[in-house]
Structure 1
Amino acid sequence: MTEASEATRRPPGTPCWVSLMVHSLGSTEEFYTDLFGWEYEPGPGQLGPYVRALLDGREVAGIGQMPPDRHLPVAWTTYLATDDADATAESVRCCGGTVAVGPLDAGIAGRMAICSDPLGAIFGIWQAETHMGTLLHGRPGTPVWNELVTQDTSTVGKFYEHVFGHEAKAHPESSEDFDYLTLRLQGEPVAAVHGVGRSLPHDRGPHWMTYFEVADPDEAVARVELLGGTVVQPPHEGPGGRHATVADPEGAVFTVIRTTH
């Protein structure tokens, strides 16, 4: 790939990449190959054992292996684009968030940091140089949506507005029982914040959820179970399409969805 140009850079605040850090890279690769048809190529050496997942030769996600002495939660991480990782990291701190890792260079691919918002949800920021993030969209096996699941939308919605310039708009069906914001850039929805109050899983806390497109959520759920994963929420119809929440064999939770086009 060539150096990122202004035309190919994602607008700041756009979800641009998802990655997963696991204990067993090889078995995790096999799980997602069987589920999504992914192939792999080596990623930046600075990140340790790390691969980029490919579909038809196009990058869709990253998977890395934790050092043996690290016992962090295994979870998918959503990265938001920025033109200046250092300035965005400082803005995260100023707005009540935390910068846990970085900013640091990932070889020539770009500059990144791992952060958390004021309520503790972890996310990444990515300043692209040669690695542009997810390059394939809209087909089975690709990430199609990112949603923050948190206690409530009021405080944290303002955080993302201030740091990334999102316009947080209440969902038309929002109510006391349905606390939901859409994060927009230039009028277009790029992500969402779902306030679930006391229904937030105690073992996970606030978190970003990655949605992957599949042709048939029911078949995908059956495949997940066959491959050693678990079902967190069975397939059901929702505003965006039929979807289900599952976990891979190491416990990384994600959602499979057949979107309504």
Structure 2
Amino acid sequence: MARDLGAAQRFYGEVAGWRFRPARLGEAFSVAELDGMPVAGIGALAGDLAVAVAWTPYFAVDDADVAVDRIRERSGTIAVGPVSFESGGRGALVADRDGAVFGIWEGQVSSGWRVGSGQAPAWLELRTRDAFESAIFYGEVLEWATGRAGCCEVAYEEERVVLRQEGEPVARLDSGPVEPGSYSPYTRPRWHVHFRVPALEPAVEAAVALGGRTVSETGTSATERWVSLRDPDGALFTLTSFRTDGGGADG
């Protein structure tokens, strides 16, 4: 969700190398692509819907009404929808029991949209009060770990829940100190998106030059390096790139 579609496209185009095409959802929407594959969607609706400028993950469901009913039954919140679009899809903007916002989508989904595949976002992270309890909520709402074709597998690893699809990690749920209802994005439960770029420093420099700012030090693992940022409108996201030095973790 952005305030100005053109400004958002200019920023992420320079930072992440994305190109944009019109979406079937209307003039306020565009699809970001990298090397011809879809990466993300931008909708200039933050002002119209009185919602925060933010990156929000949308999870595919077979039936939006059924998913919304499951969310209500488990004390989640329905903010918008389900709404029908001319494209034939139906979506809703919702929140889990602790207030972390996410979306659901019923309709056609390109295989290129799957997190962790191709040019799509590298992974998603849920920062929440209790990762195990949240995994139960999302598992029941989104039918994780049900054994049906295409569903995700869930594992508890090193005090966090890891979500995999076809063996590849696509999301992790981390327990930690959070404050449900907090106005601070650093303390309230939330989903956080990680976008992969070829080289970290040039992308971060471009973001800062275009009005964004870093909000973390550079993190490092055995295989990747990453930095969290805000775009000019305040949306939080993380840029990550593979390490090329072959070194071990130092951060």
Superposition TM-score tier, normalisation by shorter sequence? 0.7 to 0.9
- Judged with a 3 Å threshold, the aligned counterparts in structure 2 of structure 1 residues 64 and 226 are, in CA distance, closer, same or farther, namely same
Once the two structures are superposed, the pairs formed by residues 1-261 of structure 1 within 5 Å of their partners are 21-45=1-25, 49-66=28-45, 68=47, 70-129=49-108, 134=113, 137-139=117-119, 142-167=120-145, 168-171=154-157, 173-174=158-159, 180-184=160-164, 188-198=168-178, 203-204=184-185, 205-238=188-221, 241-259=224-242
Change (3 A) 1:107 1:195: same
Deviation at 1:236, TM superposition (A): 1.6
Inter-CA distance 154–181: structure 2 relative to 1 (3 Å threshold): same
Cα deviation for residue 253 of structure 1 reads 0.6
TM-aligned CA deviation for residue 31 of structure 1: 0.3
Task: Give the distance between the partners of 1:239 and 1:113, measured in 2 at CA.
Answer: 38
Task: Please give the alpha-carbon distance, in whole angstroms, between the structure 2 residues aligned to 1:202 and 1:150.
Answer: 15
The question of whether the paired residues in 1 share the 8 Å contact of 2:46 and 2:53 is answered with no
Deviations 1:80-118 (A, max 9, x none): 111111111111111221221111222224221111111
List 4+ stretches of structure 1 deviating above 6 A: none
Moved more, 196-205 or 246-255: 196-205
TM-fit CA distance, 1:185: 5.0
* Alpha-carbon offset, residue 71 of structure 1: 3.8
Q: 1:87 to 1:29 in 2, by over 3 A?
A: same
Equivalent pair of 2:227/2:238 in contact (CA under 8 Å): yes
SS of the counterpart of 1:87? helix
* Cα 1:187–1:67 shift into 2, 3 Å: closer
In structure 2, relative to structure 1, the CA distance for the partners of 1:260 and 1:63 (3 Å cut) is same
Taking only the aligned residue pairs, the percentage that are identical comes to 35
The residue identity in structure 2 corresponding to 1:216 is A
Letter in 1 for 2:52: P
Q: RCO higher in 1 or 2 (8 Å CA, sep ≥ 6)?
A: 1
1:198-239 Cα shifts (integer Å, max 9, x gaps): 599851211111111112223322221111101011212036
The offset of 1:184, in angstroms, is: 3.8
CA contact (8 A) 1:116 1:122 kept: yes
Mean Cα deviation higher: 92-101 or 126-135: 126-135
CA contact (8 A) 2:58 2:103 kept: yes
Conservation of the 8 A alpha-carbon contact between 1:109 and 1:130: no
CA deviation after TM superposition for structure 1 residue 132, in Å = 5.9
Is the alpha carbon distance of 1:245 and 1:189 closer, same or farther for their aligned partners in structure 2, counting shifts above 3 Å?
same
* Structure 2 spans left out of the alignment, 5+ residues: 146-153, 245-251
Q: Which moved more, 1:94-103 or 1:113-122?
A: 94-103
Q: Which amino acid aligns with 1:169?
A: A
Deviation at 1:70, TM superposition (A): 4.6
Q: 1:75 Cα deviation (Å)?
A: 0.7
| Contact kept? 2:123, 2:195, Cα under 8 Å | yes
Tell me, yes or no, if the aligned pair for 2:2 and 2:46 is still in contact at 8 Å. Answer: no
Equivalent residues of 2:122, 2:170 under 8 A apart = no
Question: Quick check: 1:108–1:129 contact (8 Å CA) kept in 2?
Answer: no
Distance 2:36 2:207 in 1: 24
**TM norm structure 1:** 0.79
